[in-house]
Structure 1
Amino acid sequence: MSASRVVVVMGVAGTGKTTVGRLLAAELGVPYAEADAFHPPANIAKMTAGTPLDDADRAPWLDAIGDWAERHASGGVVSCSALKRAYRDRLRAAAPELFFLHLTGPRGLIAERLAARRDHFMPSALLDSQYATLERLEPDEQGAEVSVEAEPHTLAAAALEVLPPLSA
């Protein structure tokens, strides 16, 4: 992939979006953004308290990520849960050429990884709400799924393989 598209590394909490996103951005030589940095303080407080975000909470967050993607249309990687089709559509409204890399894996493995995280506001108790919200990529969406059962460097390499070439 040439550096003229933004890749959204998506999935539920604990799939390794940040780790894989940083590795992928480094491999592609493009900027990386962590979507958690776009959350307003009220969202972080809500999640820290164990309360799932609703669509209204996510709207300004998704708009900020969409703005970043639009500004980096020449190439970038951003991690973002992008759990619903409507959220991905909102991001695509700002940056139509987005490619969604959906990190997937067994719930037990993801729960273990999430429980082992330290210094993160997202409690493992919210994993079920993330799965309840998750809508898998549909055939008309630019994207691919990659299993998180491998090590991060292997995942990043697999991600590079599924990124389609850009048409000239």
Structure 2
Amino acid sequence: MSQLKYVLDIEAHFPVAQDADSLKQHIESLVNNDIKDSVLKQLQGHIWEQGYKNGDIKAPVYPDAVEFIKRHAPNVYIYSSGSVKAQILLFEHVEGDIDLTKFITGYFDINTSGKKTEAQSYANILQSIGLGQSSADSVVFISDNEKELDAASDVGIKTFLALRPGNNPVSCVEKYTAVTDFSSI
């Protein structure tokens, strides 16, 4: 199947008219409003795959996060609203020609586990990695999103609030242990 046909097949699943302006406006709205749409994630994954394979895209991962992942392997799992495919591509093509995939045991997304703002999603992940809720406090979840931290906390997971340049402002700094550098975890 040609690249264009593949993209058009994905775009056909957006609930809007299939003209260029409607699609562009819909996609921009999803991105600007941080909507975790599975069709958008599939399209992003395909675009990113081409960019990573061509060498046009390298993932900017903080050096302390790279070291954190290496230090805690093989007990590292990634849960992102980006598709599993996109996560693997990202961690396979980190700036500095670093491939972190060999340090990551598993990946979870909204299609495999559920929405990141729902406690059941974290319970699903605990079950997937062979832990019950009684062992949840042995798992660490780091996010810059209060609703995600609330959901993970609801099942007993230990949480940290990531404070990084460029993140959206948060009002829950007193509620969660904040980290600006993962070497402190």
TM-score range (shorter-chain normalised) is 0.3 to 0.5
Give the structure-2-normalised TM-score: 0.31
Larger Rg: 2
Give the structure-1-normalised TM-score: 0.33
Ranked by relative contact order (alpha carbons within 8 Å, sequence separation 6 or more), the top structure is: 1
